Amino acid sequence: MTPPRRPGHGSRRVNPRPQHDCRRPAVPSNNKPDPFDPELVRELATLIAETDLSEIEVEKGDLRIRVARERAVQQVQVPVAAAVAPPLPAAAIPAAAPVPAADADPKALAAHPGAVLSPMVGTAYRKPSPDAKTFVEVGSRVESGARVLLVEAMKTFNDIVAPRAGTVTAIFIEDGQPVEFGEPLLLIE
């Protein structure tokens, strides 16, 4: 007589591993499914059109779809009325050395002996605070070492001083304007 089998002992029947993953559809390797989903692209395009988004990117497994739109840049020309000044008598016009125009070549301005150049990249200020009076105006007489501007860089305000005594003949920047290293800021004659 054979002894009765106890559960857990003896021979077990082991299921062999399936030859394919049941969770994925069987597709021959030379005929891969097309992951492109035109309906998803349409939905994303509609979402972009209905919102203020400029692009959307969706990633599902190996599939990545990015839908973007270009923003149209609208240029508007604003007419500017030319300021007409009344003619001055010849005696009232000061005789000064010729000053390069503000739209002249920056390299030529930088080479001018009276040019005050920006020593750093930053933001130039013509006055010490928003409510204060400007340091200098065109026609202001300055002494050597006098503060003529400020350049703020990395939250630090740096004094820009007159390298020599003279008269300010041109100012090339506006208050709060970004400036580059070596950019002409003003001229002193």
Q: Quick one: 62 exposed, middle or buried, by C-beta within 10 A (0-12, 13-18, 19+)?
A: exposed
Q: Is the pLDDT of residue 182 over 70?
A: yes
d(CA 189, CA 113): 8
What pLDDT digit, counting tens, does each position of 79-117 carry?
555 555 555 554 444 433 344 444 556 667 777 888 999
Structure tokens that stand for 34 in this block: 């097309």
Structure tokens that stand for 85 in this block: 């000044």
Domain 103-188 is found in CATH 2.40.50.100 = yes
d(CA 129, CA 86): 33
Number of Cα atoms under 13 Å in the Cβ half of residue 182: 6
Residue 181 near residue 121, CB atoms below 8 Å: yes
Give whole-number Cα distances, 189 to 133, 165, 171, 185, in Å.
Answer: 22, 8, 12, 14
Model pTM greater than 0.75?
A: no
Question: Where are the chain's structural domains?
Answer: 38-68, 103-188
